[in-house]
Chains A and B, each alone.
Chain A
Amino acid sequence: MNEIVKTLLDQAALPASEDEIAAYAAGFAAQRAAVDALYGVPEARYADPALRFRAGARITDWAE
Chain B
Amino acid sequence: MTDIPLTLTDAAAALRAGAVTSVALTRAAIAAADRLDDTLGAYLSRFDEYALERAAAADAELARGLDRGPLHGIPFGVKDILAMAEGPTTAQSLVLDRAWGAGKDAPVVARLKAAGAVITGKTTTMEFACGMPDVTKPFPVPRNPWNPDTWPGGSSSGTGIGVATGMFLAGLGTDTAGSIRIPAAFCGVTGLMPTFGRVPKSGCVPLGYSLDHVGPLARSARDCATVLEVIAGEHRSDPDCVDAPFTAPEWGGDLAGLRIGVVREGHFPEQGDPATEQAFDAAIAVLARAGASITEVRLPLRQEMITADMITMGCEALAYHRTDLSTRWDDYFLATRAMLAIGAQVSGADYVQAQRVRRAAQDAVGRLFDEVDVILTPTAATGAPTFSSITGPGGSPDIGALFALIHTPYWDTVGNPVLAVPMGFTPAGLPLSMQFAGPAFGEAEILRVADVFQQATGWHLRTPEPELEGVAA
How long is the Cα–Cα vector from A35 to B344 in the complex, in angstroms? 13
Closest B residue to A42 by CB, please name it: B360
What secondary structure prevails in chain B residues at the interface with A? helix
Q: How far is the CB of B45 from chain A (nearest CB, A)?
A: 19
How long is the Cα–Cα vector from A64 to B346 in the complex, in angstroms? 37
How long is the Cα–Cα vector from A8 to B340 in the complex, in angstroms? 13
Residues 84-132 of B at the A interface (beta carbon under 8 Å):
101, 104-107
Is A48 interfacial (CB 8 A cutoff)? yes
Q: Which residues of A contact B363 (CB under 8 A)?
A: 43, 47
Residues 167-225 of B at the A interface (beta carbon under 8 Å):
200, 202-203, 210
Please tell me if the beta carbons of B318 and A62 are within 8 angstroms of each other in the complex: no
How long is the Cα–Cα vector from A61 to B83 in the complex, in angstroms? 13
Please tell me if the beta carbons of B107 and A62 are within 8 angstroms of each other in the complex: yes
Closest A residue to B103 by CB, please name it: A63
Q: Which residues of B contact A55 (CB under 8 A)?
A: none
Please tell me if the beta carbons of B350 and A38 are within 8 angstroms of each other in the complex: yes
B residues contacting the other copy or chain, number (CB 8 A)? 56
Chain-A contact segment, one of B50-58, B230-238, B290-298 = B230-238
Please tell me if the beta carbons of B341 and A34 are within 8 angstroms of each other in the complex: no
How long is the Cα–Cα vector from A50 to B362 in the complex, in angstroms? 9
How long is the Cα–Cα vector from A27 to B310 in the complex, in angstroms? 13
Please tell me if the beta carbons of B338 and A48 are within 8 angstroms of each other in the complex: no
Please tell me if the beta carbons of B307 and A16 are within 8 angstroms of each other in the complex: no
Please tell me if the beta carbons of B345 and A28 are within 8 angstroms of each other in the complex: yes
Chain B residues close to A by CB (< 8 Å)? 83, 101, 104-107, 200, 202-203, 210, 235-240, 301, 303-304, 307-308, 310-311, 318, 322, 325-326, 329, 334, 337-338, 341-346, 350, 352-364, 392-394, 396, 400
Chain A residues close to B by CB (< 8 Å)? 5, 8-9, 11-16, 19-20, 23-24, 27-28, 31-32, 34-35, 37-39, 41, 43-44, 47-52, 54, 57, 60-64
Q: List 11 A–B pairs whose Cβ atoms lie within 8 Å, in order of A's numbering.
A: A5-B345, A19-B394, A34-B303, A38-B357, A41-B301, A41-B360, A47-B359, A50-B210, A50-B355, A54-B239, A62-B237
